[in-house]
Amino acid sequence: MLIATVRDYLEAVKSGEIKAEDFLPEAIQKAERIQKAYSPFITIDKKARPSASKGPLYGLPVSIKDSICTNGMQTTAGSKILEGYIPPFDATCVTRIKDSGAAIIGKTAMDEFGFGTFSTNCAYGAPKNPLDIERSCGGSSGGAGCITAAADFPHIAIAQSTGGSITAPAAFTGTVGLTPTYGRVSRYGLIDYSNSMDKIGVISKCVYDSALMLSVISGHDPLDSTSSEVKSEDFTKHLNSDVKGMKIALPKEYFSSGIDPKIAKLVRDKAERLQQLGAKVEDVSLPLTKYAMPAYYMIALSEASTNLAKFCGLRYGLQKEIQGNFDEYFSKIRTEGFGEEAKRRIIFGTYARMAGYRDAYYLKAFKVRARIIDEFKKTFAKYDALITPSMPILPPKFSDISKLSPIQIYNMDIMTTAPNMAGMPTLSVPIGKIDGLPVGMQIISNHFMEGKTIAIGAKIEELK
Amino acid sequence: MSVMIGVEVHTQLNTESKIFCSDSTDARDKKPNENTCPICLGFPGSKPKLNKRALEFGMLIGLALNCKITGTMFFSRKAYFYPDLSKNYQITQYEAPVATEGHLAIGDEKIRIRRVHIEEDPAKLMYVDGDINTAKYVIMDYNRAGTPLAEIVTEPDFTSPKQVRAFLEKMSSILEHLGVYDSSKEASLRVDANISVDGGERVEIKNITGFENVEKALSFELVRQNGLRRVNATVKRETRHFNAELKTTSALRTKEFEEDYGYIFDPDLPTIVVGKDWVEELQANMPELPDQRVARFIKQYKLNDYTSTVLVYTDKCLADFFEESCKLYKKPEVVSNWLMNYILKSLNWRSERIRDSKVKPDTFIEMLKLIEDGKITERYAKELVKEYVDTGTSPKKLAEKNIVKMSEADVEKIVVQTLKQNSNVAEEYKAGRKESLQFLIGKVLAATNKQADPNIIRKLLLKELESK
């Protein structure tokens, strides 16, 4: 029996047409074949079974980004320094997924600790783009994008974004990526990159799947003091909301130089279609956008450099024979355990918060963030959503990525850093192909207005 | 030469659970690392969650020290690599401490309080077969990791080591009266002291426990620094360690610059806004503080200022003991006299605190009643104190064989007999040598096997001597 979608599968399981216990081994075999071809996983659980006796996602295969802790299942955050680490607890979102009856089939590849845009900084190998294996799936949630694009069975991926790590892989693999409002989904159990910006979200084949999964994982969690008190809701109800009368803006800074003009044109074309459907589309200017990228890296790396201090080979993860004093021992562990990009970001972040530089870099970046949030808030007082390209380029070839400097790579995040650092929800939806390669459109909305991005995203999906 | 001293007092706060997780803070009967969880062990993915009680304890300390409570506060990460820190950073308060700008009066002097902040205690390191310099390895116990700490920082307002000690004693009593501090726990008050003399750099003495040690460490430093200055040698800016056995300090490391901890806001802990209502509520429920208690003792028990101060500031449990005893025996001046002059002395001699001792109000007042009823002599009671403090046995039981059994008539017979045997002494007395009376009392007492009350003996002796 061929089941095409998550929705069909869950209905078939519910009606008894299909038994999840029969279906799952088949799905895992498929996942293993995909693993051989594209390497989306760091760990696959061959014995995955529904985690609860019933629930809205009963029997659904779900993959989890490897920076999210799974009790009893290896969790490495893509780093060698956590090789073999088996967490003693589940992240809150994993608990909620298990309670919904879903089956966790494995942990997906990622840039080490989320440090990257192309998943090329993964200690366990970069996932390959199923549409062209010479190209990147994007990052840092590259494995999540990869398995979602390649899966020929119903599946939803849990991903995570700090500065664009859901949008980038969604755009490059032609999938849907939902980055919720900061605080919407508990971060408890997420291995931190930049705690003030980390957001757990979803990558899926269609908008419905993302909305469905967000309904399961969102809502307040007392274990995460930054998780919002805003109640969870059934986000699928927004799928049929009309875009007629919605006010949508195209920020000109997101369509200027540095962006592939073909991508910019495709996004504008889709916006025009929305206008035809009754939305009011206008151009706006967000002049602070250019400050987002440097400020984002200041904050993210300052926080990351303290988050990564705990990895010193004493209590978990990579360990060696103890020789020398504490300083010598942890230096050895960290030298061997961290990849090049992790080391670069630790040095960068440590520098930005040092006495003498702290005011000029770390503290100033916070002021910039406050101004950027303010700019978004003012814009959303007039508009329901903003529409931008998801990524400024088409999925690049690995051979081209290796020629890029770190700054050139950081510049790939220009579409995503501002909304991410402001904690605004975004939805990346595929809008077609250029030269056979997928293009994504990013819909940005105000805090806790995921529903609006879902409504617009669903309409874009219908236009296909 | 003048001296400037400032102190940082670190105290564990007496909350039931740790500051950022729900593990118990009480590890007294626990195996090493038993009171731990992914949060206080800093496991990947775990997040801290503030124990509101710890914050309130910090606020109470601030209020008791006449500080301003910070309206908007947050926590920071103090980053440095050390094995006792599970995350290699400590969650503390940096820019926005709980309270600032307070003061505490020590006699007529006002010591300014710069700030009060709360933070997490690191784990305990134990050096195996040696000390920090000689041990081959250390073992770590994270039971302590995450216990809430308050750090109280003064301005450099102290002018003598003795004044510092008085401050610490008062501080300790305040913390105990607030109920935020359990002074019976191991090393629950730790002091870092800064001291500088004219023309010298500031020297920090780290991690001193015990108020007497603080005074000794500072006195040693004062002599050392003054000695250096007298011969025009430089006093280097450095951190020193106090050796409690040798009562000396020695250099730990030279400080050429402030350590750079690269503080950032802790992004896992949201900003806390402390409204006026919250502060007012704490203020309204503030327990009685030592100064207020001293004033009450003077008024309620008609004690003098000195006695009240000793009772309250020696130790909160001494004041509590006094009040308990007064409920059972309503003569406060007698209670305080016996408590301070005999019981306390005996306890001090044993270096024991009244709460940890076997002395209890109900048995203590038994002794006072025995004296009042004339069943034992005061003199005998003074002898009894030592055994009572040692064993805690009821004074009634202890005194059984010494209860005054002899009737006045029997004593009178012995008095007459003694006077006969010592007629020459009696004559001397009559001739005006009044000291002889004391000798005669002693003789009678010995003859009664100490079974008689010396006051009665004196009375009877005088009666006999005057009548003839």
Delimit the domains of chain A by residue range: 6-244+426-463
**CA B78 – CA A72 distance, rounded (Å):** 32
Q: From chain A, pick out residues whose CB is under 8 angstroms from the CB of B41.
A: 315
Distance from CA of A235 to the nearest CA of B (A): 27
Q: From chain B, pick out residues whose CB is under 8 angstroms from the CB of A82.
A: 44
| Maximum Cα–Cα distance across chain B | 98
Tell me which of B184 and A212 has the higher pLDDT: A212
**CA A263 – CA B430 distance, rounded (Å):** 128
pLDDT(B333) > 90: no
Tell me which of B386 and A103 has the higher pLDDT: A103
| Confidence tier at B336 by pLDDT (50, 70, 90) | confident
Comparing CB atoms, the residue among A82, A225, A358 nearest residue B270 is A225
Distances (CA, A) of A94 to A67, A97, A153, A212, B292: 12, 5, 21, 15, 55
Tell me which of A175 and B355 has the higher pLDDT: A175
**CA B375 – CA B383 distance, rounded (Å):** 15
Exposed e or buried b per residue across A344-356, where buried means at least 16 C-beta atoms within 10 angstroms of its C-beta: ebbebbbbbbbee
**Residues facing residue B120 across a β-bridge:** B148
Give me the sheet containing A103-108, strands edge to edge. A41-44, A103-108, A61-65, A156-161, A199-204, A176-179, A426-434, A437-445, A385-389, A247-251, A280-284
Nearest CA in chain B to A352: B262
At A260 the pLDDT is: 92
Q: Does B21 touch chain A (CB under 8 A)?
A: no
User: Which range is least confidently modeled, A24-28, A38-42, B41-45, B351-355?
Assistant: B351-355
At B186 the pLDDT is: 54
Which contacts of A310-316 are long-range, i.e. CB under 8 A and separated by 24 or more positions? A310/B42, A310/B44, A310/B86, A310/B87, A310/B88, A311/A79, A311/A81, A311/A82, A311/A337, A311/A338, A311/B44, A312/B81, A312/B88, A313/A81, A313/A337, A314/B83, A315/B41, A315/B42, A315/B43, A315/B86, A316/A82, A316/A85, A316/B43, A316/B44
pLDDT(A1) > 60: no
Q: Which of residues 261-280 of B touch A (CB under 8 A)?
A: 262-265, 267-270
Tell me which of B208 and A455 has the higher pLDDT: A455
Distance from CA of A442 to the nearest CA of B (A): 27
Q: From chain B, pick out residues whose CB is under 8 angstroms from the CB of A326.
A: 81-83
Q: From chain A, pick out residues whose CB is under 8 angstroms from the CB of B89.
A: 306, 309
At B185 the pLDDT is: 62
| Confidence tier at B377 by pLDDT (50, 70, 90) | confident
Q: From chain A, pick out residues whose CB is under 8 angstroms from the CB of B48.
A: 225
Report ipTM for this prediction: 0.93
Residue from B454, B358, B347 nearest B338 by CA: B347
**CA B361 – CA B375 distance, rounded (Å):** 19
Tell me which of A137 and B247 has the higher pLDDT: A137
Q: From chain A, pick out residues whose CB is under 8 angstroms from the CB of B270.
A: 225-226
> Rounded to the nearest 5 degrees, what angle is found at the Cα of B88, between the Cα atoms of A110 and B121?
135
Distance from CA of A187 to the nearest CA of B (A): 8
For the segment B16-41, the average pLDDT, to the nearest whole number, is: 93
Q: From chain B, pick out residues whose CB is under 8 angstroms from the CB of A311.
A: 44
pLDDT(A220) > 90: yes
Q: Does B88 touch chain A (CB under 8 A)?
A: yes
| Confidence tier at B405 by pLDDT (50, 70, 90) | low
pLDDT(A187) > 60: yes
Q: Is the peptide bond before A140 cis (omega within 30 degrees of 0)?
A: yes
Q: Does B15 touch chain A (CB under 8 A)?
A: no
Contact A315 B263 (CB under 8 A): no
| Confidence tier at B338 by pLDDT (50, 70, 90) | confident
| Confidence tier at B182 by pLDDT (50, 70, 90) | confident
At B402 the pLDDT is: 61
Kindly report the average pLDDT of chain B as a whole number: 86
- Residue A8 burial (CB < 10 Å; 0-12/13-18/19+)? middle
pLDDT(B38) > 70: yes
**CA B207 – CA B190 distance, rounded (Å):** 6
Tell me which of A3 and A431 has the higher pLDDT: A431
For the segment B3-18, the average pLDDT, to the nearest whole number, is: 93
pLDDT(B71) > 80: yes
Q: Does B306 touch chain A (CB under 8 A)?
A: no
Distance from CA of B47 to the nearest CA of A (A): 6
Contact B44 A196 (CB under 8 A): no
Q: Which CATH number fits domain A6-244+426-463: 3.40.50.920, 3.40.50.300, 1.10.10.10, 3.90.1300.10?
A: 3.90.1300.10
Question: Which token pair is B430?
Answer: 């009559």
pLDDT(A310) > 90: yes
At A223 the pLDDT is: 97
**DSSP codes joined into one string, B190-208:** EEEEEEEETTS--EEEEEE
Distance from CA of A262 to the nearest CA of B (A): 39
At B413 the pLDDT is: 85
Pairing assessment for the beta strands A103-108 and A61-65 based on DSSP bridges: parallel
Contact A353 B47 (CB under 8 A): no
| Confidence tier at A400 by pLDDT (50, 70, 90) | very high
Contacts of B397 (CB under 8 A, 6+ apart): none
Q: Does B52 touch chain A (CB under 8 A)?
A: no
**CA B189 – CA B12 distance, rounded (Å):** 7
The answer to whether the beta carbons of residues A41 and A143 sit under 8 Å apart is yes
| Confidence tier at B352 by pLDDT (50, 70, 90) | confident
**CA A185 – CA B45 distance, rounded (Å):** 14
Question: Which token pair is A122?
Answer: 């993964």
A63 is a catalytic site residue: no
Distance from CA of A309 to the nearest CA of B (A): 5
Question: Which token pair is B433?
Answer: 């040598």
At B152 the pLDDT is: 96
Please write the tens of the pLDDT for every residue from B232-243.
Answer: 877 888 888 887
For the segment A350-377, the average pLDDT, to the nearest whole number, is: 93
| Confidence tier at B151 by pLDDT (50, 70, 90) | very high
Residue from A274, A266, A275, A277 nearest A388 by CA: A266
pLDDT(B188) > 80: no
| Confidence tier at A405 by pLDDT (50, 70, 90) | confident
Please write the tens of the pLDDT for every residue from A24-72.
Answer: 999 999 999 999 999 999 999 999 998 877 899 999 999 999 999 999 9
pLDDT(B449) > 60: yes
At B375 the pLDDT is: 73
For the segment B249-271, the average pLDDT, to the nearest whole number, is: 81
Comparing CB atoms, the residue among B44, B83, B269 nearest residue A314 is B83
Q: Which residue in the list A51, A63, A67, A140 is annotated as catalytic?
A: A140
Comparing CB atoms, the residue among B45, B264, B265 nearest residue A91 is B45
Kindly report the average pLDDT of chain A as a whole number: 94
Question: Which token pair is A440?
Answer: 């994504």
**CA B317 – CA A103 distance, rounded (Å):** 59
pLDDT(B316) > 90: no
| CATH fold label, B408-467 | Arc Repressor Mutant, subunit A (1.10.10)
Nearest CA in chain B to A197: B267
Q: From chain A, pick out residues whose CB is under 8 angstroms from the CB of B263.
A: 353, 358
**Residue A399: alpha-carbon gap to chain centroid:** 24
How many CB contacts within 8 angstroms connect chain A with chain B?
Answer: 104
At B401 the pLDDT is: 63
**Residues facing residue B197 across a β-bridge:** B3
pLDDT(A269) > 90: yes
3-state secondary structure of B70: coil
At A439 the pLDDT is: 97
A215 is a catalytic site residue: no
Distance from CA of A95 to the nearest CA of B (A): 14
Exposed e or buried b per residue across B300-320, where buried means at least 16 C-beta atoms within 10 angstroms of its C-beta: ebebeeebbbbbbbbbbbbbb
**Residue B307: alpha-carbon gap to chain centroid:** 16
pLDDT(A235) > 70: yes
pLDDT(B424) > 80: yes
At B460 the pLDDT is: 86
Q: Does B79 touch chain A (CB under 8 A)?
A: yes
| Confidence tier at B457 by pLDDT (50, 70, 90) | confident
3-state secondary structure of A222: coil
A65 is a catalytic site residue: yes
3 state SS for B324-367: HHHHHCCCHHHHHHHHHHHHHHHHHHCCCCHHHCCCCHHHHHHH
H or E element that contains B385: helix B378-391
For the segment B329-335, the average pLDDT, to the nearest whole number, is: 84
pLDDT(A297) > 60: yes
The residue of B49, B268, B269 whose CB has the most chain A CBs within 10 angstroms, and thus the best one to mutate to test that interface, is B268
At A464 the pLDDT is: 66
pLDDT(B83) > 80: yes
Q: Which of residues 105-144 of B touch A (CB under 8 A)?
A: 137
pLDDT over 90 percentage in chain B? 37
Q: From chain A, pick out residues whose CB is under 8 angstroms from the CB of B94.
A: none
**CA A254 – CA B106 distance, rounded (Å):** 65
